[in-house]
Amino acid sequence: METTLRGVGVSHGVAIGEVRHMGTAVLEPPAKQIPAEEAEREQGRAHQAVEAVAADLVARGNLAGGEAQAVLEAQALMAQDPELMADVERRIAVGSTAERGVYDAFASYRALLAGAGEYLAGRVADLDDVRNRIVARLLGVPMPGVPDSDEPYVLFARDLAPADTALLDPALVLGFVTEEGGPTSHSAILARALGVPAVVALAGAGEISEGTVVAVDGSTGEVFVDPDAAKRAELTEAAAARKAALSASTGPGATSDGHKVPLLANVGGPADVAAAVAAGAEGVGLFRTEFLFLDDSERAPSEEKQVAAYRAVLEAFPEGRVVVRVLDAGADKPLEFLTPADEPNPALGVRGLRSLLDHPDVLRTQLTALSKAAAGLPVYLEVMAPMVADRADAKAFADACREAGLNAKFGAMVEIPSAALRARSILQEVEFLSLGTNDLAQYTFAADRQVGAVSRLQDPWQPALLDLVALAAEGAKAEGKSCGVCGEAAADPLLACVLTGLGVTSLSMGAASIPYVRSALAQHTLAQCERAAAAARATDSAEEARQAAQAVLSGE
């Protein structure tokens, strides 16, 4: 008998196939005491396992490229965290085996983070995956991970670590479903980059039996268990209709009555450029530069290395707009040379622009490198600062850009509610705004973007979040300046129409989502988008907002 479950759809498309469950986690090692004379040998084993796992994660990142590479390199740094390793060594020194010392040290760190409510608590899946890989290597057992199968399947898991998501084979993994995670988790972001249909935060996913046939709709978040022939046909036809609509929609982003909405790509480095160009991106709305800084947490990359990487992206978009975000370090991206190591809550501490203003030499080098990279190219370079809180922040960034001789537009990201509330004030110092809806939702609702238990508050359809978007867009319009969205909200075709109706002037997303958004915009007028936005804001919940907008745009 068919059953319908609902989670959070995070990657478009429909997948129909049999369920395969993720391999089980590593078993807890026995608490065996070792003689004191074996401690040094066990500590050596622990170090070797850690370095091997870190190297494997980096290698996986190199294979995957793009978004995945930055995520996996950050995970490798997590494996090599000096405080964790010091705890492992201490536990071995008092009698633990290498595997038990690793297991207990990670468990202690996990509990500490969760209990303190720190930002990194949201990366528990990443932390657990690193622990499991190290312990598996020490025990000499297979790594937990994606199941072996000769036939295509739908992957079910409690959560998916980035190392597994990054190297999924779309020819075998038709789609995936997880119990944990949210729309902005690493797994969700990587699923969109792969173009694999995905649903997260689905309660009871682990209870669905191996081999059960399911149909997963990554657009609606619905999972149909044992769908009958009629339901399969309905979903297949709907997917075919979407594909036909995508093929028919080409060219620049615009509503059906000609209101232009440039569709830009989010890129994590040169490896993402080919997909963005192939999808018809009109430029880059968010060029994340962290990938350059994660190779070595002890020092910033040289100016020459930065120039080469930036130029590779800028050259791909002649006459196009490329918006570069300067280094956003701190919180889940700590760097030894830049971010404090002892903050009680890094998400609310010295991160983003705050870190750079404390280290002006790092900011100056990056801005100088961007200036040199753009020299002689017919590209419209724009540079923006992350985590801008007020006009003073915006002025400090603009002053730094001018001092570096940067010939570009300077902008500010709106990720903190204060920036949306005081948009006009900030725009006295900079020339554009870019809404990072992932962090803006996190700070608006005090809901960590990686914690599945609060995923409803991370839903970009939340009316309060739409109100803040509207405030920022209205402020920009009053100042005659632009206000784009570069958060994951822009990747939702229906929400893209609502954002356009709120006054957003450009949309930036993962390359795989651009055709879907282009097609959705082309089917509606600006007036329809404005009515849908007003209807969504008049509700009291994310689901009601989504339904209200859908009703307006479908003519109900």
Calculated CA dihedral for residues 78, 289, 357, 368, nearest 10 degrees: 140
**Structure tokens of 536?**
């969504």
Give the torsion sign (CA, 113, 115, 118, 123).
positive
CB-based contacts of 97, cutoff 8 Å, min separation 6? 29, 30, 32, 34, 42
C-beta neighbour count of 477 within 10 angstroms? 15
Report which of 243, 242, 197 is spatially closest to residue 223, judged by C-alpha positions: 197
In whole angstroms, how far apart are CA 415 and each of 444, 457, 517? 9, 15, 23
CB half-sphere exposure, 207, CA atoms < 13 A: 6
In whole angstroms, how far apart are CA 49 and each of 1, 24, 43? 48, 20, 10
Measured in residues, the chain has a length of 556
Report which of 411, 409, 402, 413 is spatially closest to residue 379, judged by C-alpha positions: 409
Beta-bridge partners for 432: 411, 482
Q: Which residues of 300-333 are buried (b: 16+ CB within 10 A; e: fewer)?
A: bbeeeebbebbbebbbbbeebbbbbbbbbbbbbb
* In contact, 73 and 295? CB cutoff 8 Å: yes
| Among 483, 486, 497, 529, the one annotated catalytic | 486
Q: Is 483 a catalytic residue?
A: no
In whole angstroms, how far apart are CA 439 and each of 15, 388, 482? 30, 12, 20
Return left, alpha or beta for 65; rule: phi > 0 is left, psi -120 to 50 is alpha, else beta. left
**Structure tokens of 403?**
């001092």
Beta-bridge partners for 411: 384, 432
Distance CA 216, CA 232 (A): 10
* In contact, 319 and 329? CB cutoff 8 Å: no
**Structure tokens of 125?**
């899946």
Alpha carbon 422 to its chain's center: 26
| 3-state DSSP assignment of residue 158 | coil
Calculated CA dihedral for residues 120, 122, 126, 132, nearest 10 degrees: 100
Q: Is 486 a catalytic residue?
A: yes
| Among 186, 483, 497, 529, the one annotated catalytic | 186
Distance CA 387, CA 440 (A): 10
Q: What is the DSSP string of 291-332?
A: HHHSS-TTSPPPHHHHHHHHHHHHTTSTTSEEEEEP---BTT
Catalytic residue set: 186, 486
